[in-house]
Structure 1
């Protein structure tokens, strides 16, 4: 009865078509396209108009300090401890209360994502795979989205890396725009993730030419010219 009530409320809030689409993807079939992106670690980040944010403390994530995630990322505490224990490089940014308000991870070898996508992402020598970056809502639209990555790039460069690679879901427009703002470029590769009946997953890589992101790029501003006299 509770399930029917929740379904009825969702249909009322989202509409029948949107509700059916969500249930289909969850219980029958879904297809995620993960675009491979890359960037060197030395080119400057393009100019931006992001908002400033209060001072935060950057701390390396270890298996013993993940309690800092309890307030804003309570469901991730165990996952954070596991990733740290596996030897991945993780940073969390703490507010003045000692609570993590943002985090990000890097892996300098092939990364098997057993917590979400369930597949392996290959990494070449000199590269590192960036994953798991997230900020609390209060910091959306701030420079923290840039500084979060720059701090990790610095740490991974110290480990001998000179390039960052990652994947971004093609339907995640905000994340794609962030990648473009940070100066990432497309590799022309897609990791396709298929889900069937909420139980099985299949994977295959495809390639493409040109750009899938041209529609998201901001038009370049024309040069300023002196008024005619």
Structure 2
């Protein structure tokens, strides 16, 4: 399929405006606002109504089994292998065919993300930084998102960690809502990532009080009132 055909297909699926914004973001300029969030790994997740999912086998990601990502995450097989070789803790969930359908990574040391944002995420003692979590579309909205968190929490607690921290792009609405649903707390810090012409990158941190996520929360439902006699 040639480039023009791919472009036409993408416009038909996403619309001209969305494709134009994506092109600008990729080739001209983008500004990502990464809000820092945290959760005590000793505190269980709140109740949820996520859907069940078919049985999946959990394994640590290693250099030798990273090929399991080939079907659904084929462009990241080598990245998975590199992260495993560097000693980061990775969990993957395999379907009945042995293909990875979900994964997450954790780092107990300062993490330099050279694969996507290309900036350093400093970690305090007793914390770990969780990154790269993703699931295939078929598993969106399922209990796997909660299981990934809790499985990783147990593993990292055994390494002496009491708190998980991560960052979430304010433009990633589904991820923001997932963090709210799981009762993550805001750290009051935003890392700004700027990229010009796909080449030059600039970074800065800003700090705030209150909440930047309140606009994403569902409004509280009013309590029912008693009917008049």
In the aligned structure 2, how far is the partner of 1:5 from the partner of 1:98?
A: 33
2:130 paired residue number: 130
Deviation track 1:81-101 (CA, whole Å, cap 9, x = no partner) reads 000000000000111211111
Q: Match for residue 22 of structure 1?
A: 22
Aligned to 1:45: 45
What displacement does 1:217 show? Answer: 1.6
1:163-203 Cα shifts (integer Å, max 9, x gaps): 00000000000000111111101111000000001111111
SS in 1 for 2:117: coil
Mapping for residues 83-122 of structure 1, pairs under 5 Å: 83-122=83-122
How far has the Cα of 1:14 moved from its partner? 5.0
CA deviation string 1:94-148 (max 9, x = no partner): 1121111100000001000001110000000000000010111111110000001
> What is the 5 A alignment of 1:173-212?
173-212=173-212
Q: What root-mean-square deviation, in Å, do the aligned CA atoms of Structure 1 and Structure 2 show?
A: 2.0
Q: Name the stretch that deviates more: 160-169 or 94-103.
A: 94-103
Structure 1 spans left out of the alignment, 5+ residues: none
Q: Secondary structure at the match of 2:192?
A: strand
Tell me the SS of whatever aligns to 1:171: coil
In structure 2, do the counterparts of structure 1 residues 14 and 98 end up closer, same or farther at CA, with 3 Å as the change threshold?
closer
SS of 1:134's equivalent?
Answer: strand
Calculate the TM-score normalised by the size of structure 1: 0.91
Task: From the superposition, tell whether residues 40 and 97 of structure 1 become closer, same or farther in structure 2 (CA, over 3 Å).
Answer: same
Q: CA deviation at 1:208?
A: 1.6
Decide whether aligned partners of structure 1 residues 91 and 6 sit closer, same or farther in structure 2, where only a CA change above 3 A counts. Answer: closer
SS for the counterpart of 2:49 is: coil
Calculate the TM-score normalised by the size of structure 2.
0.91
Change (3 A) 1:226 1:164: same
